[in-house]
Structure 1
Amino acid sequence: MRSFNRSRHMCEWDDFHTREAFVRERLRDLDGEPIPPFWLLSEPGVSGREHRASSDIWMRKRLALAAVEKERLAFDFPAGETGKIRLGYLSNDFHDHATALLLVETLEAHDRSRFEVHAYSYGKDDGREMRRRLACAFDHFHDISSNSDNEAARRINDDGIHILIDLKGFTQNTRTSILALRPAPVQVNYLGYPGTLGAELCDYIISDSFVTPDSAAEDYAETFALLPHCYQPHGRKVLIDPAPDRASAGLPIEGFVFCCFNQAFKLTPGIFDIWCRLLDAVPASVLWLLGSSAAEGNLRNEALKRGIAASRLIFAPDLPQSRHLARLQLADLVLDTAPYGAHTTASDALWAGVPLITWPGETFASRVAGSLLSAIGLPELIVDCEDDYFERALALASNPNSLAGLRSKLAFNRLTTPLFDVEAYTAALEKLYLEMWSRRRAGSPLTTLRLPAARPEATRPAP
């Protein structure tokens, strides 16, 4: 099973064609070793319904074990209290991490007259500026890293948290076992995991109508809570330094720069085929990828198999966020992966002013970049099929005036459209929280929560 995951991180694709059959076999074998749901997000051909089945299978034994402790803890939730709603954000990533970078301005923007905001952190304190900033962004920052699941659940319940918001899902070092104990009356799946957590963990999943259209409701155990534009937060306080020169970033002085900074496990042979066709069709172009010591050699070999010189793949080292955003401006066009597309890397690109082409599928993980592009007013960069993906990228790479016009439009839209308007975003998120708690207090059944999009004049440029 470990080799199944390792081969994706290393871009070892010799047996890639056998993976879909292996996945379906594991989903049918309820008594065998289940595949971690996160691994399936990047597997082509896996449907939304199968993602839900995978999550249910993964949690089945864990929920059974938690049921005994849940009964013994016997948490109760007084429904009559009024006053501030107590929000609890549960995560391992309250440090210099992609989730924190996306969410920090929203946390800082919460209305303290209506909400009391708690962090429940079971991750490391890396001692860096983001950790200190996050500690200040909450009214109460609780380090539960040394607590058992039962102790952590008791603490959350003793603090009277009304809405517990999980920011991890099935990502690395998660503790969904805390959610399984049900320490809060309302539990929410938000931001950290692009898919369902299966039955019994969370009441709602915060999303938007592009990422999770109504037709996908049966693919989720949670009830939809839909924000009016894009579910992903991102503010406008992140400053971007001037771009370095191309040579210092390891790029050639001339030539078109196709870029994808998604992690190597998201790459597939099919997507790589298209990228190599683009390199072949655009003379002197290069493909700028995120560096990966495990995958670089294999990717160079895969390029050679497709008739592309290995030197046309440029690998970028890991850099702090500020330096990364500065160099990202050197890219001409970002190419998304499928079926697990760009999420934070997509918002990074758009904030840095670089257009992005995406090809959404039917799953949450495949549709995030499309949601971002819709919210920033660039639907023309969302394509319907493989042929359109190639043709749109080739057209932009071959027509400097069209690309310049698109970049100019993006430069204007990033400060005037809803995508990076953190105040409006946070207000909408809070409306969802208020509705969740109102319905819980009234004893109303779960139902899709949907906020209307703001009128165009309601969006404002940054001061």
Structure 2
Amino acid sequence: MKFYDLSRSLCEWERLPEWRGKVRDALTRNEAGKIPPFHLLSLPGMSATEQRACAELWMRARLEASQTERDGLAFAFLPPTGPRIRLGYLSCDFHEHATAHLMAELFESHDRERFEVCAYSYGPDDGKGMRERLERGFERFVDIEHLSIAEAARAIHADRVDILIDLKGYTRATRTAILTFRPAPIQVNYLGYPGTLGGDICDYIVTDGFLTPPGSEADYSEAFAYLPGTYQPHGRRAPIGTRPTRKEAGLPEAGFVFCCFNQAYKITPEVFDLWCGLLGAVPGSVLWLLGNPRAEGALRNAAYQRGIMPDRLVFAAERPQVEHLGRLGLADVVLDTSPYNAHTTASDALWAGVPVVTCPGGTFASRVAGSLLHAIGLPELIAADPAAYHDLALGLATHPGRLSRIKAKLVANRLATPLFNIQAYTGHLERLYEAMWQRHRDGLPPGTIGRADRGP
């Protein structure tokens, strides 16, 4: 699957049907451990049911390999000794990273009278301000990068963590295998991976009623812990830099700016067809994308094959977060990808005042932008199908009054709706943690917590 991963990063789509067939064939044959679950999140046409099957097979092989070592540890848990619930957040992204930007204010907002908040970090210290801020935001910041999987699990267990919250799942540089040793009595899949982890390594997945509506429970090994609003945190203290001129950003002086700053592997040929159709229907418009030297040539060539001049694709260089948020205001509309949506890039755009158009599917990863739009009171930007997605984006691009009304509503809702209310969000999340802990203390198995207050 390494070839598939490289091809997606390069936006080389010719073999997508072949790879989809190989994946389905492997799942049908129950070939354990051959297909990384992360690949299925962005592979068009894969269902949530297939994503769970892949995760189960992936974990089966790894659980079998570590069975003897895990049996040798066989952690037991002592009764709690204090009034506070001890939370352990597990990640390699406690530095300048999208997850850290989303969560920094949440960590700082936890009620320290009810919770002890610890970090278990197996990622590098990049020496930047975000790492320092996060270290200050936790009561204990434990560096486990040098430890083996078993040693890290032993350290977490020795610290008597009550609820261990995994922020990585099957994403890059993960050590989610620590959770297979069950070092904490409650383990939670949260934010970092938009799908199930399979097996029994996590008891709960933090979600909301749009992401995982009632009836989708069979596609997840975890019990649902429902938040009102949206599952994604985002603070209110993210500074927005000075907006550059269009020329400084590499954009033409005039013309409508469609934008998508998602990673290249999320772009599919079906989505790119829609984007090129919009460029063709809106004279003078451009598509502003995140720069990726390895993929830019393929994307320009794909545009040309679809009748669009390659120079109508504009690629943006990486910038520090403050500068990135500042330049986002130059975009008119953000176009989402599917089946792997914009996540942090969507909430960043909304924070910067730019509307996002999305078309949700049937998987967690394909419904995140819709969840965010519901939470900020803009469900009218959620399209029912690809044709409606095209028509919605085209209508905003060709009817200035309609776009102005949407932007005015976004500005008005920005601080008046749940999406960026980090204090309320933290309180809701803490109540979920308390409910998980109470069920555990009552001897109850994991079960649905909270209410799915919004369906499809």
Amino acid at match of 1:260: C
The structural deviation recorded for 1:451 is 4.7
TM-superposed CA distance for 1:32, in Å, is 6.6
Distance in 1 separating the partners of 2:2 and 2:177? 22
Within a 5 Å distance, the mapping from 1:72-91 to structure 2 comes to 72-79=72-79, 81-91=81-91
**Within-5 A mapping of 1:262-273:** 262-273=262-273
Q: Does 1:150 align with 2:153?
A: no
Partner of 1:111: 111
Question: How far does residue 350 in structure 1 lie from its aligned partner after superposition?
Answer: 0.3
Q: Which residue of 2 aligns with 1:21?
A: 21
CA offset at residue 443 of structure 1?
0.3
For 1:30 and 1:396, how far apart are their aligned partners in 2?
A: 46
Report Cα offsets for 1:240-287 as digits up to 9, x if no partner: 123111000000000000000000000011100010010000000000
Q: Quick one: distance in 2 between partners of 1:12 and 1:93?
A: 29
DSSP-derived class of the 1:107 partner: helix
Check conservation: 1:80, 1:441, Cα contact below 8 A: no
Which residue number in structure 2 is paired with residue 422 of structure 1? 422
Q: How many Å separate the matches in 2 of 1:221 and 1:75?
A: 22
Change (3 A) 1:395 1:175: same
1:43 deviates by 0.7
Query: What is residue 307 of structure 2 aligned with on the other side?
Result: 307
Question: TM-score, normalised to structure 2's length?
Answer: 0.98
Structure 2 counterpart of 1:255: 255
Matches within 5 A, 1:317-396: 317-396=317-396
- Mapped partners of 1:298, 1:269: distance in 2: 11
Give 1:14's aligned amino acid: E
Is contact 1:26-1:33 (8 Å) kept? no
Check the 8 A contact 1:66/1:177 in 2, yes or no.
no
Task: Tell me if the contact between 1:90 and 1:166 (Cα under 8 Å) persists in the aligned partners.
Answer: yes
Shift of 1:200: 1.5
User: Which residue of structure 2 lines up, in the alignment, with residue 68 of structure 1?
Assistant: 68
Matched residue SS, 2:297: helix
CA contact (8 A) 1:102 1:344 kept: yes
Distance 1:117 1:80, change over 3 A: closer
Are the counterparts in 1 of residues 211 and 368 from structure 2 also a CA contact under 8 Å? yes
Q: Which residue of 1 aligns with 2:243?
A: 243
Partner SS state of residue 239, structure 2? coil
The residue type equivalent to 1:38 in the other structure is F
When residues 189 and 253 of structure 1 are mapped into structure 2, their CA distance, relative to the original with a 3 A threshold, is same
**Conserved in 1, the CA contact under 8 Å of 2:33 and 2:62?**
no
| CA-CA distance at 1:150 after TM superposition | 1.5
Q: What CA deviation, in whole Å up to 9, does each residue of 1:28-66 have, x standing for no partner?
A: 233476110001100111111100000011111111223
Matched, 1:280 2:276: no
Please state whether the residue corresponding to 1:87 is helix, strand or coil. strand
Counterpart of 1:182 in structure 2 is 182
The secondary structure found in structure 2 opposite 1:64 is: helix
1: CA distance, partners of 2:168 / 2:16? 28
C-alpha distance in structure 2 between counterparts of 1:72 and 1:327, whole Å: 54
| TM-superposed deviation, 1:335 | 0.3
Aligned residue number for residue 461 of structure 1: none
Unaligned regions of 5+ residues in structure 2, if any?
none
Question: Alpha-carbon deviation of 1:452?
Answer: 7.8
Contact 1:428/1:451 (CA < 8 Å) preserved in 2?
A: no
Q: d(CA) in 2 for partners of 1:154 and 1:326?
A: 44
State the alpha-carbon separation in 1 of the partners of residues 438 and 65 from structure 2: 31
- The secondary structure found in structure 2 opposite 1:411 is helix
Secondary structure, counterpart of 1:225 in structure 2: strand
Which blocks of at least 5 consecutive residues in structure 1 are unaligned? 455-463
Cα distance in 2 for partners of 1:33, 1:217 equals 23
Q: Count how many residue pairs are aligned between Structure 1 and Structure 2.
A: 454
Contact 2:187 / 2:203 at 8 angstroms: preserved in 1? yes
How far residue 23 of structure 1 moved from its aligned partner, in angstroms, is 1.6
Give the superposed CA RMSD: 1.3
Question: Do the aligned residues in 1 keep the contact of 2:334 with 2:355 (CA within 8 Å)?
Answer: yes
Quick one: structure 1 residues 149 and 32, their matched pair in 2 at CA, closer, same or farther if it must change by over 3 Å? Answer: closer
Alpha carbons 2:242, 2:323 under 8 Å: kept = no
Partner Cα separation in structure 2 for residue 213 and residue 452 of structure 1: 7
- On the 8 A contact 2:289/2:316 being kept in 1, the answer is yes
Q: Is the 8 A contact 1:79 1:441 kept in 2?
A: no
Q: How big is the shift at 1:440? A: 0.3
Deviation string, structure 1 residues 190-209 (Cα, Å, up to 9, x no partner): 01000000012100000101
Q: Which amino acid aligns with 2:85?
A: I
Cα distance between partner residues in 2 of 1:189 and 1:84: 21
Q: Are the equivalent residues in 1 in contact too, given 2:208–2:227 (CA < 8 A)? A: yes
Deviation by residue 1:322-364 (Cα, 9 ceiling, x = unmatched) = 0100001100000000000100000010000000000000000
Q: Deviations over 1:260-315 (max 9, x none)?
A: 00000000111000100100000000000000111100000000000000000000
Q: Is 1:44–1:339's contact at 8 Å kept on the other side of the alignment?
A: yes
Work out the CA distance in 2 between the residues paired with 1:225 and 1:452: 9
Residue 400 (structure 1) aligns with: 400
Alpha-carbon distance in 2 for matches of 1:45, 1:440: 38
> Does the CA contact (< 8 Å) of 1:246 and 1:330 recur in 2?
yes
The reply to whether residue 40 of structure 1 matches residue 40 of structure 2 is yes
| d(CA) in 2 for partners of 1:177, 1:11 | 30
**Displacement after TM superposition at 1:21 (Å):** 1.3
In the TM superposition, 1:117-156 aligns within 5 A as 117-156=117-156
After superposition, where does 1:212-223 map in structure 2 within 5 Å? 212-223=212-223
| 1:297 alignment partner in structure 2 | 297
Determine helix, strand or coil for the equivalent of 1:248: coil
Instruction: Indicate the percent of aligned positions where both proteins have the same amino acid.
Output: 57
Partner of 2:388, secondary structure, is helix
Partner residue, 1:197: 197
Please tell me whether the aligned partners of residues 328 and 349 of structure 1 are also in contact (alpha carbons under 8 angstroms).
yes
Alignment-derived partner of residue 161 in structure 2: 161
Q: TM-score, normalised by structure 1?
A: 0.96
SS of residue in 2 equivalent to 1:165: strand
Are 1:258 and 1:332, in contact at CA under 8 Å, matched by a contact in 2?
Answer: yes
